[in-house]
């Protein structure tokens, strides 16, 4: 099976072309195999490129544990760059069907016809408990909750996928806390967890424990969710630089919509036996 591996902020993905949905027969199991870092290629997720009836292309995302994800910010930037630089869709505005609806990616193309940056309209966030899949809560905004006898002040929202924000200015929390919060009974379908440090109102740092992937170097939707939550709490502006372990993003809120701008790069290509 032919593949291309890409990364956005160190969040790495294996890309496979399956336009007609007739190539991959057991994509969830295949994802677990190829994403394994010892027995496969190694990645945070598998991305499948398919035809779409409502957009230029359709993006299927499967986490390294074989679970599906509706949306991934780092993956969609890679996806747009892949489509353009491989000559599949030669436009500087590409529509992409995802599990969270159609997203528009704006490509910044240099004189060598290469994509330097990708800016994606990530849509509107939601703080509704029914969207975040909260258990018996209408919302969770800056609320202290007790999980495993430890108290956390949490804010949860849907940014394509569920995210929970935990302010970590004094480094009192770690990825172990992220793992605990992810599987709390508060969340019917688990949650991604973002530990956020506020440098100033235009600069924040985010570390993410991803549902289905664990600790990663970065999470695009997590960066977007973190800015939205902090802006809601009056702790940051509507536009900020987001620093992750894998690099930087610019995230901004315009008329209720969230826009994310960042890089994406190719790593390698080859053939994998499955």
Numbered residues of the known binding site for substrate: 11, 63, 73-74, 192, 210-211, 220-221
Annotated binding site: 11, 63, 73-74, 192, 210-211, 220-221
Cβ(1)–Cβ(22) below 8 Å: no
CA-nearest of 210, 231, 221 to 259 is: 221
Residues with Cβ within 8 Å of 133's Cβ and at least 6 positions away in sequence, in order, are 162, 187, 188, 189
**Is 223 annotated in the active site?**
no
Q: How far is CA 94 from CA 69, 139, 184, 219, in A?
A: 20, 34, 37, 21
**Is 268 annotated in the active site?**
no
Distance (Å, whole) CA 155 – CA 27: 33
Of the candidates 35, 72, 223, 224, the residue annotated as catalytic is 72
Of the candidates 35, 78, 219, 223, the residue annotated as catalytic is 219
* Residues that are catalytic: 72, 219
């Amino acid at each position: 099976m032919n593949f291309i591996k890409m990364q956005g902020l160190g969040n790495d993905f294996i890309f496979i072309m399956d336009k007609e949905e007739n190539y991959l027969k057991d994509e969830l199991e295949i994802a677990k195999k190829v994403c394994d870092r010892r027995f496969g290629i190694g990645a945070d997720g598998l991305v499948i490129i398919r035809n779409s009836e409502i957009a230029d292309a359709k993006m299927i995302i499967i986490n390294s544990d074989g679970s599906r994800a509706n949306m991934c910010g780092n993956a969609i930037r890679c996806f747009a760059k892949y489509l353009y630089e491989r000559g599949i869709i030669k436009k500087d505005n590409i529509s992409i069907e995802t599990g969270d609806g159609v997203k528009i990616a704006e490509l910044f193309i240099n004189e060598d016809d290469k994509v330097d940056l990708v800016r994606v309209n990530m849509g509107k966030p939601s703080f509704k408990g029914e969207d975040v899949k909260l258990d018996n809560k209408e919302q969770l905004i800056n609320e202290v909750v007790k999980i495993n006898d430890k108290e956390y002040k949490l804010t949860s929202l849907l940014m394509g996928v569920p995210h929970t924000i935990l302010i970590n200015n004094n480094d009192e929390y770690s990825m172990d806390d992220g793992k605990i919060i992810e599987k709390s009974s508060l969340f019917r379908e688990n949650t991604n967890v973002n530990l956020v440090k506020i440098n100033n109102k235009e600069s924040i740092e985010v570390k993410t424990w991803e549902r289905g992937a664990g600790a990663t170097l970065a999470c695009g939707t997590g960066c977007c969710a973190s800015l939205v939550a902090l802006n809601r709490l009056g702790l940051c502006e509507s536009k900020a630089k987001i620093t992750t372990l894998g690099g930087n993003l610019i995230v901004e809120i315009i008329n209720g919509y969230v826009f994310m701008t960042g890089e994406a790069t190719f790593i390698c290509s080859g053939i994998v036996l499955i």
